[in-house]
Chain A
Amino acid sequence: MSHQQYVRNFSIIAHIDHGKTTLSDRLLELTGTISARERREQLLDAMDLEREKGITIKAKAVCMRYTAPDGQAYTYNLIDCPGHVDFTYEVSRALAACEGALLVVDAAQGIEAQTLANVYLALEHDLVIIPVINKIDLPGANPEQVAEEIEHVIGIGREDIILASAKAGTGVPAILEAIAERIPSPRGQVDDATRALIFDSHYDAYKGVIAYVRVVDGMFPADTRVQFLGTKAQADILEVGVFRPAMTPLEQLSAGDVGYIATGLKTVEDCQVGDTITLAERPANKALPGYRPAKAMVFAGLYPIDSNAYTDLREALEKLKLNDAALSFEPESSSALGFGFRCGFLGLLHMEIVRERLEREYQLELLITAPSVEYQVLQTDGEIVAVDNPSTLPSPNIIASIEEPMMHISVIAPSRYIGAIMELVTTRRGSLDTMDYLDPQRVLLKYYIPLAELVIDFYDQLKSRTQGYASLDYALSGYQEANLVRLDILVNGQPVDALSMIVHRDSAYNRGRELVARLVKIIPRQMFEVPIQAAVGSKIIARETVRAMRKDVLSKCYGGDVSRKRKLLEKQKEGKKRMKMVGNVEIPQEAFMAILSLDGKDS
């Protein structure tokens, strides 16, 4: 018990750019975990991509030693959690590993939607919240108003809020003291059957899957066999330890500790976030609550530009999958795009990250189709099929009904944008749930909206219509029946499967017209006239024509510089090669993403 008494496990909840990383670095410095000199910029965000996007994709945990003013030594475990809504489940598991959380709010910006959502998650897990108003030294800071907002929205009194400037170091000692004073110590049962919560994992080429764990009860010796209660996998532990911040092996991890277990497993699929690890010899009979296997929400086809790279793409996806249990993929083929993979993602950011990693780390050139969601289709024969690719929607005469995933979204924005937000949501088939004023200027709007409408450009539209002020959070609320049809696009009379989409019957005509109008601009003139049509079933609802190319000939004389003429032609030919041949029409890659930016931009 005495061991746990001086352990504090906590996390930091903050919106992007509100100063989480800077504050983490200060805590590490002040506790001597790292020196200012050896501090790599933004230490906790190790992956390039994370640093570039300014977000934390994967949770990490750092173990610090803190000595209180009264001389008492503490072990602080800071569990970093992702800051994006795509990773809400990971956040909930990271929070479940803590007893407390620092809520960091920018003194000029106030609380944002995702922050609020994460605070509610923390409160669900009975975490003690220590509110910190950060960046108080910046011009435009209004700590008083933000304090009021915190008091009003979260119900934490003014006297409990710490004012800080992580950058200047102001308030950081007070935060360290508050962690010891306010956050309760873990209360695990050392003698019970051993159980630990996995809140993250990554694949290490030497040690196999490294599980990031919070030991709840019992104890893990450094060399024992463990069992995963959810996936049923077993493994021999290679090593246990903590991050200081480098991996530091220990003799054991026991109740209350946060650290890692090197499992030697080959894939993170066997070691999923939220699962419970126990000892194989004396397994616990009850798993920790809250485990659910990763579930993809958004689906898209990934195709190599160069069809010879199909095998490379498969191998790259397999490698990424080792480290990303949420990524799913299976082979699919498209008459327009050839052979590729249907991939499932947690959300759009996750999709973007996977695509960028494939292109950057595996040097693959990819074509990605417009994202789709998974529909539940009830057929007239009573069978229910899941459809995540519009081109595989059963023929209309055997469809009894279609249900689509619905999201419950929260938008926080200055109240002057209510009209603009309402308009956007209404055109996207959303309906208002509640509207609450956080303070006289800021409003929290909750809506139900089909996920399919959310994945197409919704966030960008929301940002542009609110001049960047709105923040968004979302969660799956269930499935709902809707009058949906498949919109097909025909190029030169041939349907292009990769351009099909499932839309509401009422918006099919407008969507079809917009898409056709965009495609006519994107598809370059060919040697012949090319009609572009939109159709629902056999009915053509829109048509435009890409006129035939009239003139395309290099006329300039390059003074005998034949190589230059040749290079220009080669470049032009290379450009053609990057297009996809559908029938005898060359379609550029942007065309397959045109669906994404349909929102009256051209109308």
Chain B
Amino acid sequence: MGQPQHLYIHIPFCHHRCCYCDFVTYAGMEDRIEAYVAAVCRELAMLAQIGHGTPACFRAPLRPSIFFGGGTPSLLSPAQIERIIATAEQVLPLADAEISLEVNPGSFLGTGLREQGRTARHYFGKLAQMGINRLSLGVQTLHDPTLRVIGRQHTAMEARQCYDAARRVGFAQISLDMMFGLPGQTLAQWQADLEEIIAWQPEHLSVYSLILEERAPLYQQVAQGALALPDDDTSAMMYEMTLEQLATAGYVGYEISNWARIDSVAGLDTRCQHNLAYWLNSDYLAAGAAAHGHIFPARYANLAQIDTYIAEVSANRRPVETWVHLNQADGCAETMMMGLRLHTGVRYDHFQQRCGCALDAVYGGVLERLVAQGLLERDEHAVWLTYRGRMIGNQVFMQFLESGSKGSMAIPLRDSA
């Protein structure tokens, strides 16, 4: 049993909610940040004390990682981030760790911030000192009218300045979050976005297709016809365009929505270690309200409400809302569902090690069918999605979920008041 290698920290605060978002985050509760940070530290201390072990078979050959996600982690002060990292050090080894933080370019706007010295450049400089070595910038699009429609509070110019500041400070790992399939977005606009961000030469790109979530305000606007999304064909073309242009620019689409630079000869690999832990179905801890962790043999989800979360931790109880116990079949299904998202696919030895059984013994028939349909390809080491399979990945992934299975039992620990 070794120490856990990966930690997710959720920062559920935003100045403003984007209209497509249905993540757990709260606008207008920034006065709780200080108490929240204290609670996260306390939760981390609890995790350290419990001393979760991760068996070797649930560890991927990755560097350790911490990922600050949100919400808007860039609303935290450098001092708050420093405290969290310092506490996290009791939980996992940080030497050589990838420590990422999501940044909203809108976090450096607004009256007074500049006077307080909260410029992007100053802020990033501090982050670098705290040990943050990877930034993920939420650019989304560089088309100003579209940014306004989706409720982003920054302009394209501010995103450019933000990227520039991160570069100048010397961050060696910068990732950009981009989205296509946005309301009113055209192929030409998306092409212009792609061309510009390629020119920036970020080390990493996450490109997501907008997903209309029922609980997000955008859903209503689209349902009522106030906004129109690009049709399926246009959205497909946008994705095809992304695959093509990023490949031409030398990026490897190492996951359905993620691109990095990989050059084994030059020893270059800018893949996100933290997200790879998810795709490889490794163990990872999570802290903060609504955070989701995976510690064999269970997944857990923390309480989502900020105040409930703080209260629970203050009472010295773990703020977990549900544990989902995973059986072997779940492990197999999830290893495939996640692993096939990678361009390297699922290695048989990894599957054997992770699930305790041979891939073909469990899924031989399914694999054969999907290969025959031209959705999967395989050799003596691994199985992976074809280009067509990547385009319609859901049709592939769902074949590994047991039909009609209720999934694992979710055990609510308390009323989710």
Interface residues of A, Cβ cutoff 8 Å to B: 525, 527, 549-563, 565-567, 569-570, 572-573, 576-577
- B392 and A553: CB pair below 8 A? yes
**In the complex the two chains form, what is the Cα distance from A553 to B373 in whole Å?**
17
Contact A553 B390 (CB under 8 A): yes
Whole-angstrom distance between the Cβ of A384 and the nearest chain B Cβ = 47
Q: Does B401 contact A (CB under 8 A)?
A: yes
Contact status A560-B292, CB under 8 Å: yes
User: Which residue of chain A has the shortest Cβ distance to B213 in the bound complex?
Assistant: A556
Task: Identify A550's interface contact among B232, B291, B394, CB under 8 A.
Answer: B232
The answer on a CB contact under 8 Å between A554 and B211 is: yes
Known: A550-B233, A552-B393. A559 touches B69 (CB 8 A): yes
Are A562 and B394 closer than 8 Å at their CB atoms? no
Residues of B with C-beta under 8 A to A563: 292, 299, 301, 324, 407
Q: Is there contact, CB below 8 Å, between B235 and A562?
A: no
Inter-chain contact A553/B256, CB cutoff 8 Å: yes
Chain A CB count within 10 A is highest, among B232, B286, B334, B395, for B395
Which of B273-295 touch A at CB < 8 Å? 275, 278, 284, 286, 291-294
Known A559-B292, A562-B299, A566-B407: A551·B235 in contact at CB below 8 Å: yes
Taken residue by residue from 63 to 102, chain B's Cβ proximity to chain A (1 for < 8 Å, 0 otherwise) reads as 0000001000000000000000000000000000000000
A553/B398 in contact, CB under 8 A: no
Which residues of B217-265 have CB atoms within 8 Å of chain A's CB atoms? 232-233, 235-236, 239, 256-257
CB neighbours (8 Å) of B235 from chain A are: 551
In angstroms, Cα B275 to Cα A565, docked, is 14
Chain A residues within an 8 Å CB radius of B392: 527, 549-553
A561 to B403, CA, bound (A): 21
Query: Given A549-B392, A552-B395, A559-B292, 15 other A-B contacts at CB below 8 A?
Result: A552-B392, A552-B394, A553-B209, A553-B256, A553-B390, A553-B393, A554-B394, A555-B211, A556-B208, A566-B334, A566-B401, A569-B397, A570-B401, A573-B398, A576-B398
**In the bound complex, CA of A194 to CA of B99 (Å):** 96
User: Is the beta-carbon distance between B236 and A562 smaller than 8 angstroms?
Assistant: no
Q: Is the CB of B394 within 8 A of A559?
A: no
Q: B141 near A: Cβ within 8 Å? A: no
Contact (A550, B256) CB under 8 Å given A562-B334, A563-B299, A566-B334: no
Q: Which residue of A lies closest to B180 (CB)?
A: A555
List chain B residues, Cβ under 8 A from A573: 398, 401, 403
Instruction: For the complex, count residues of B whose C-beta is within 8 A of A.
Output: 44
B293 in contact with A560 (CB, 8 Å): yes
Q: Which residue of A has the minimal Cβ distance to B207?
A: A555
Given contacts A527-B373, A551-B235, contact A560 B391 (CB under 8 A): no
- Nearest B residue to A570, CB-CB: B401
With beta carbons under 8 angstroms apart, the residue of A553, A562, A567, A577 that contacts B338 is A562
A553 touches B391 (CB 8 A): yes
Verify if B8 is at the interface (C-beta below 8 Å from A).
Answer: yes
Contact A557 B401, CB 8 Å, known A550-B233, A569-B337: no
Q: A551 and B232: CB pair below 8 A?
A: yes
Digit string of B388-417 for contact with A (CB within 8 Å is 1, else 0)? 001111110110010110010000000000
How far is it, in angstroms, between the C-alpha of A562 and the C-alpha of B211 when the chains are bound?
16
- Give the residue of B291, B324, B337 whose beta carbon is less than 8 angstroms from that of A565: B337
Residues of B close to A569: CB separation below 8 A? 337, 394, 397-398, 401
Could you give 11 example pairs across A and B, Cβ below 8 Å?
A: A527-B395, A551-B391, A551-B392, A555-B257, A556-B211, A557-B208, A557-B257, A561-B292, A569-B397, A570-B398, A572-B398
Which residues of A have CB within 8 Å of B207?
555
Judge whether B10 is part of the interface by a CB distance below 8 angstroms.
Answer: yes
Q: Smallest Cβ distance from B194 to chain A, in angstroms? A: 15
Q: Which residues of A contact B373 (CB under 8 A)?
A: 527
- B200 interfacial contact with A, CB 8 Å: no
- B206 at interface, CB cutoff 8 A: yes
Known A-B contacts A555-B209, A565-B337; A572 and B394 likewise in contact (beta carbons under 8 Å): yes
Q: Do the beta carbons of B236 and A550 come within 8 Å of each other?
A: yes
Q: How far is the CB of A227 from chain B (nearest CB, A)?
A: 53
A554 to B403, CA, bound (A): 19
The answer to whether the Cβ of B23 comes within 8 Å of any Cβ in the partner chain is yes
Enumerate chain B residues within 8 angstroms of A552, measured Cβ to Cβ.
391-395
* A560–B208 touching, CB < 8 Å: no
Looking at the assembled complex, report how far the CB atom of B341 sits from the nearest CB atom of chain A, in whole angstroms. Answer: 9
CA distance A76 to B359 in the complex (A): 79
Known: A569-B397, A569-B401, A570-B407. A560 touches B390 (CB 8 A): no
The minimal Cβ–Cβ distance linking B327 to chain A, given in whole angstroms, is 14
- Do B294 and A577 have beta carbons less than 8 Å apart? no
How close is B325's CB to chain A, nearest CB, in angstroms? Answer: 12
CB atoms of A555 and B256 under 8 A apart? yes
Question: Known contacts being A556-B208, A560-B8, A577-B404, is A551 close to B299, with CB within 8 Å?
Answer: no
Contact A555 B208 (CB under 8 A): yes
Closest chain A residue, CB of each to CB of B277: A560
Which residue of B has the minimal Cβ distance to A575? B398
* Whole-angstrom CA separation of A318 from B108 in the bound complex: 71
Does B294 lie within 8 Å of A560, measured CB to CB?
A: yes
For residue B395, give the distance in angstroms from its CB to the closest CB of chain A.
6
Alpha-carbon separation in the docked complex, A576 to B403 (Å): 10
- Within residues 165 to 216 of chain B, which ones have a CB less than 8 A from any CB in chain A? 206-209, 211
Instruction: Determine the distance from Cα of A565 to Cα of B257 in the docked complex, in whole angstroms.
Output: 14
Considering the chains assembled together, what is the distance between the CA atoms of A553 and B211 in angstroms?
10
Most buried by B among A550, A559, A560: A560
* Nearest A residue to B233, CB-CB: A550
Q: A577 vs B399: C-alpha distance in the bound complex, in angstroms?
A: 12
Closest-CB distance, B13 to chain A (whole angstroms)? 15
Question: Contacts of B391 on A, CB cut-off 8 Å?
Answer: 550-553
How far is A560 from B294 in the complex, measured between Cα atoms in Å? 8
A527-B395, A553-B256 as given contacts; A560 in contact with B401, CB under 8 Å: no
Docked pose: A572 CA to B395 CA in angstroms:
9
A559 touches B23 (CB 8 A): yes
A305 nearest CB across to chain B (Å): 13
Instruction: State in angstroms the CA–CA spacing of A570 and B394 once bound together.
Output: 10
Q: Is the CB of B301 within 8 A of A561?
A: yes
Bound together, the chains give a CA A554 to CA B390 distance in angstroms of 10
Best-buried of A558, A563, A577 by chain B (most CB within 10 Å): A563
In the complex, which residue of chain B has the Cβ closest to the Cβ of A576? B398
Q: Please, how many angstroms separate the alpha-carbon atoms of A565 and B232 in the complex?
A: 21
Those of B282-321 within 8 Å (CB) of chain A: 284, 286, 291-294, 299, 301
Residues of B within 8 A of A559 (CB): 8, 10, 23, 69, 291-292
> Residue on A with the closest CB to B338?
A562
Query: Would you give the shortest CB distance from B265 to chain A, in whole angstroms?
Result: 30
Report the nearest B residue to A550, measured CB to CB.
B236
Whole-angstrom distance from the CB of A333 to the nearest CB of chain B?
24
A88 to B286 alpha-carbon distance, docked (Å): 68
